[in-house]
Amino acid sequence: MQNVQKPGTEYPADKGTGEKNKPVSQGWGLLLVIIATLCLSTEAVAAKIAYRGGATVMTALVVRYAIAAFIFWAVTLLWRMPWRLGARRFWQVVLVAVAGQATTVLCLFYAFQYIPAGMAILFLYFYPTFVTILAYFFLNEALTSRKVLALVLTLTGAAVILGQPVHGLDLRGVGLSVLAAVFNAGFFVAGARLLKDMSVWVFDTYIVSIVGVIFMAMGLAGGTLHFGFDVRTWWALIFLGVMTTVIALAAMFKGIELLGASRASIISTMEPAFTALLGYWLLSEVLTGAQIVGGALILVGVLLQVRE
């Protein structure tokens, strides 16, 4: 997919769009998706630090997206990127931001109130399946046997890592988690379509700005915004804004542009494995045999996508 950008603002892989440089472009795409996934895997740890420091969920979301919007707009304006959108394109981006990013986050947040977080995340990881199906119909991406096998392996690996008892599950939590997966899949596919004639950076700039405004309005309406917390909590929120939002979004959608939505979503299932490793290294959490087996299954699935 071609990305309309001002000369001098392209990513390194933008020059490799021809067939001759296709392996180079896909190599960049793989690297970017892995970087995005690694950044996202730190989200739970940073959010936990912020919540322990007194930040409410809505406050954390507002600060996170405000920081991200500031960085995106600063770079956009300093690099003089063509950021203005026509009315039709603007409302398309608004729809993607609301129905994709914001709704995914909210569905998952409310799902946590009804079922264990691990189980909610497991249902969320149905989204690569939905992405693969949607990409086949709406993006003309091939549905190969290798891709299906990779999907089965990565989902199985995620299930092993995130395995939870299934008795007594509240169907409201299950439904919200599956809805989060559906909306997240729509976010991937709709975003990929918009990137045909819109730069990744400008797309992300509008997405985080719109989502930030939505969460700000919700926080003000609900009276859940509180900013009186310590320096450590602020650092955790800054980390969420920079690493899990700016870097993660920019890298993920550039990876989607280079690899395709379905392949990128399958590769992103490495997130639970990264999260388990980070918990082992940084928080001295136990790394179980099941987590190692699950991580190995995900790795095999990802390698199948690399070789496709």
Per residue of the chain (308 residues), give pLDDT as tens.
334 344 344 433 343 434 445 677 888 999 999 999 999 888 877 888 888 898 988 999 999 999 999 999 999 999 999 999 999 999 999 999 999 999 998 898 888 778 776 677 778 888 888 898 899 898 988 888 888 888 888 888 887 877 755 566 688 888 998 899 999 999 999 999 999 889 999 999 999 999 999 999 999 999 999 898 899 999 999 999 999 999 999 999 999 999 999 889 888 888 878 877 877 777 676 777 877 888 888 888 877 776 66
pTM of the model: 0.81
Q: What are the φ and ψ backbone dihedral angles of 55, each rounded to 5 degrees?
A: -75, 135
Looking at residue 64, its pLDDT comes to 95
10 Å Cβ neighbour count for 86?
A: 8
Is residue 13 included in any domain, yes or no? no
Rounded distance between C-alpha atoms, residue 208 and residue 49, angstroms: 22
Which residues have a Cβ under 8 Å from the Cβ of 50 and sit 6 or more positions away?
60, 229, 233, 236, 237, 240
Which residues have a Cβ under 8 Å from the Cβ of 266 and sit 6 or more positions away?
128, 132, 147, 150, 151, 154, 301, 302, 305
25-77 pLDDT, tens digit per residue, is 888 999 999 999 999 888 877 888 888 898 988 999 999 999 999 999 999 99
Rounded distance between C-alpha atoms, residue 125 and residue 128, angstroms: 7
Domain that holds residue 65: 21-306
Looking at residue 14, its pLDDT comes to 40
Rounded distance between C-alpha atoms, residue 62 and residue 212, angstroms: 6
Is residue 6 included in any domain, yes or no? no
The phi-psi region of residue 168 (left if phi > 0; otherwise alpha if psi is between -120 and 50; otherwise beta) is left
Looking at residue 5, its pLDDT comes to 41
Is residue 251 included in any domain, yes or no? yes
Is residue 143 included in any domain, yes or no? yes
142-151 pLDDT, tens digit per residue, is 888 888 888 8
Is residue 71 included in any domain, yes or no? yes
Looking at residue 269, its pLDDT comes to 83
Rounded distance between C-alpha atoms, residue 93 and residue 88, angstroms: 9
Looking at residue 235, its pLDDT comes to 95
In contact, 61 and 238? CB cutoff 8 Å:
no
The sign of the dihedral angle between the CA atoms of 193, 198, 200, 206 is negative
Residue type, 19: E
- The residue among 58, 55, 62 whose CA lies nearest residue 228 is 55
Is residue 5 included in any domain, yes or no? no
Looking at residue 256, its pLDDT comes to 93
Total tally of structural domains belonging to the chain: 1
Looking at residue 127, its pLDDT comes to 87
Tell me the percentage of the chain whose pLDDT exceeds 90.
44
Is residue 109 included in any domain, yes or no? yes
